[in-house]
Amino acid sequence: MYRETGLVNSPPPSREEDSVLLGQVRQGNDQAMAALYDRYSKIVYSVALRVLRDPSAAEDVLQEIFMQIWRNPGGFEATRGSLGGWLAVVSRNGAIDALRRKRPMDPVDELTLPSGYDLANEAERNSMMEKTREVVRQLPLEQRKTLEMAFFDGLTHTEIAEMTGDPLGTVKTRIRSALMTLRKALTA
Amino acid sequence: MNTARHFEPEDLALFAMQLLAQDEAAAVAAHVEQCGACRQSLTEVQGDLAAYAHTVDLHTPPAEARERLLKQVAREKKTIPIDRVPEKQEPEQETIPLASYGRGLGRGAYLPEEDAPRHSPAGRVLPWLGWAAAAALAFAAGNLYQQRDALRSIIATQSSTMNQAVPGVAAARQVMEALTDPTAKRVVLNATPPEKPTPQGRATYVASRGTLIFVADNLEPLPPAKVYELWLIPASGAAPVPAGTFQPDAKGSASVLLPTLPKGVEAKAFGVTIEAEGGATKPTLPIILAGE
């Protein structure tokens, strides 16, 4: 049975609908903005909360990201892949920035996702989330922990190597291997 | 790392997670800007990371967050600038397209009826014109068509400008230009005093007696219902041993004196994490302070 996806209480979205909503946001339509928020606030907030472990700080990241969309809806283009995937990674990066107390968040994250991941489609997203969780659960413990430390805790490979006592190369390889296993499973 | 060679996928993954040092990240950014193969690899890695991000347990943000966002949106909605076409236009021809462009539509698309400004002169006048005004409307439509083309041209130009102004792209371009500029001045900067004191802890530990004294300064205040927890990391590789919880005072100072610890446990390192009140049996990342 699928776990909660954060997309309940909304009709099944599609990438096309996302682009339509973004187009309406570009026109200054605040209702479209609210619809995008209702669609993706859970994943954005959850990723930030996982990184920061602080609801208030996660809420700040959430607010900042959606205000970026409002101010510059052109910052995301359909060619960059799915809006949901983009937002998840932007949320992670923004939260890591907040964690490090770095500079304020960049207005947009210049990243592009492959078109194979249609995270805006609810059914596909549900399936992908379940599959991804299962793949991650089955990763070797060292790979799983290393990827988690790098992605969700924002630890550099040097920091991870110092903490685990593993060589730098091993840390990098574990991250890479974990991501490759994930990719193969999702594209199989 | 070398910008002349392709980057290993391992390095691209670290770059995608913003975990490289500044100079390494700049080198990767400059290389990726010009290398299609590495750009493709990076795109794939970003996709992997997006998928991985979706493994989090989902939490619903507070209802107030939505309210706060929409209020901010409403506030900023009023400040969106309205560009104007330099030529003087007939009122009924001017209002609809300019308003739509000012609100960011700007692609020659017609506004849906419900989105049209309520004070549109056309909206007020149309019911009264009837057939007698058909010819005038046809003329107006022709002008609108021409105006739409003009606006399309303006928007195409401005879209191009905006794309160039997307900070990420601009930043990557600037990085590349600066790195390859032979006239660039290169300066090595040394550490300067931090803007705010860095949290620091000092542990004194005698393994044979199980005696531990820990003093910390400049600690950040904790969220409600949270405590700092000190951990002893055994040299044997055994699980971290909890060595006491503590709260900083108003100045960020705290101490743990003589916590209950087994004797004879050699320590490889010490660490401090943030845990729920009452402490934890296993440390929760991230590690706030660490030292060997």
Residue whose C-alpha is closest to residue A78's, from A157, A29, A21: A21
Residue B53 to residue A89, Cβ atoms within 8 A:
yes
End-to-end Cα spacing for chain A: 21
B130: tokens are 């009837």
Residue pLDDT, tens place only, A63-75: 999 999 998 887 7
Cα B160 from Cα A157, distance rounded (Å):
38
For B246, phi then psi, to 5°, come to -160, 160
Report the gap between the CA of A140 and the closest CA in chain B (Å).
15
Residue pLDDT, tens place only, A9-62: 344 445 557 888 888 898 889 899 999 999 899 999 999 999 999 999 999 999
Omega before B286 cis (within 30°)? yes
Does residue B123 carry a pLDDT above 80?
no
Q: Tell me what the mean pLDDT of segment A74-102 comes to.
A: 80
Q: How far is CA A62 from CA A14, A166, B47, B152, B167, in A?
A: 22, 35, 21, 34, 20
Proportion of chain A above pLDDT 70, given as a percent: 76
Q: Tell me what the mean pLDDT of segment A144-149 comes to.
A: 94
Q: Which residue has the higher pLDDT, B186 or B199?
A: B199
Cβ contact A154:A117 at 8 Å: no
User: Which of A9, A24, A27 to mutate to probe the B interface, most B CBs <10 Å?
Assistant: A27
For B119, phi then psi, to 5°, come to -90, 15
For A93, phi then psi, to 5°, come to -65, -40
Residue A112 to residue B46, Cβ atoms within 8 A:
yes
Report the gap between the CA of B249 and the closest CA in chain A (Å).
20
Report the gap between the CA of A64 and the closest CA in chain B (Å).
9
Dmax (CA) for chain B in angstroms is 105
Give B36's pLDDT tier (boundaries 50, 70, 90): confident
**Of the partner residues A27, A37, A89, the one whose CB lies closest to the CB of residue B49:** A89
Cα B243 from Cα B235, distance rounded (Å):
15
Task: For residue B67, give the chain A residue with the closest CA.
Answer: A34
Q: Which residue has the higher pLDDT, A118 or B253?
A: B253
Proportion of chain B above pLDDT 90, given as a percent: 14
B75: tokens are 């506030």
Q: Tell me what the mean pLDDT of segment A128-149 comes to.
A: 90
Compute CA A131 distance to the chain's CA centroid, rounded to the nearest angstrom. 16
Instruction: List CB contacts (< 8 A) between B172 and chain A.
Output: 110
Q: Does A71 touch chain B (CB under 8 A)?
A: yes
Report the run of H or E that residue B206 belongs to, with start and end. strand B200-206
Does residue A4 carry a pLDDT above 50?
no
Q: Tell me what the mean pLDDT of segment B17-38 comes to.
A: 88
Cβ contact A86:B50 at 8 Å: yes
Q: Which residue has the higher pLDDT, B166 or B216?
A: B216
Residue B47 to residue A114, Cβ atoms within 8 A:
yes
Cα B222 from Cα B239, distance rounded (Å):
25
Residue B58 to residue A43, Cβ atoms within 8 A:
yes
Up-side HSE of residue B15: CA atoms within 13 Å toward CB? 26
ipTM of the complex: 0.83
State chain B's mean pLDDT as an integer: 72
User: Which of B8, B11, B12, B17 to mutate to probe the A interface, most A CBs <10 Å?
Assistant: B17
Phi-psi map region of B205: left, alpha, beta (phi>0 left; psi -120 to 50 alpha): beta
Give B65's pLDDT tier (boundaries 50, 70, 90): very high
Q: Does A145 touch chain B (CB under 8 A)?
A: no
Per-residue pLDDT at A122: 65
Does residue B33 carry a pLDDT above 60?
yes
Give A2's pLDDT tier (boundaries 50, 70, 90): very low
Q: Contacts by B91-95 with C-beta closer than 8 Å and gap 24+?
A: B91/B121, B92/B120, B92/B121, B92/B122, B92/B125, B92/B140, B93/B140, B93/B143, B93/B144, B93/B147, B95/B119, B95/B120, B95/B121, B95/B122
Helix axes B9-16, B22-34, angle to 10 degrees: 110
Residue B54 to residue A88, Cβ atoms within 8 A:
yes
Residue B115 to residue A45, Cβ atoms within 8 A:
no
Instruction: List CB contacts (< 8 A) between B65 and chain A.
Output: 41, 45, 59, 62-63
Q: How far is CA B222 from CA A110, B28, B226, B227, in A?
A: 33, 37, 6, 7
Q: Contacts by B168-173 with C-beta closer than 8 Å and gap 24+?
A: B168/A106, B168/A108, B168/A109, B168/A110, B169/A110, B171/A106, B171/A110, B171/B29, B172/A110, B172/B29, B172/B30, B172/B32, B172/B33, B173/B33
Task: For residue A179, give the chain B residue with the closest CA.
Answer: B48
A179: tokens are 């991501």
Cβ contact B245:B276 at 8 Å: no
pTM: 0.52
Does residue B124 carry a pLDDT above 60?
no
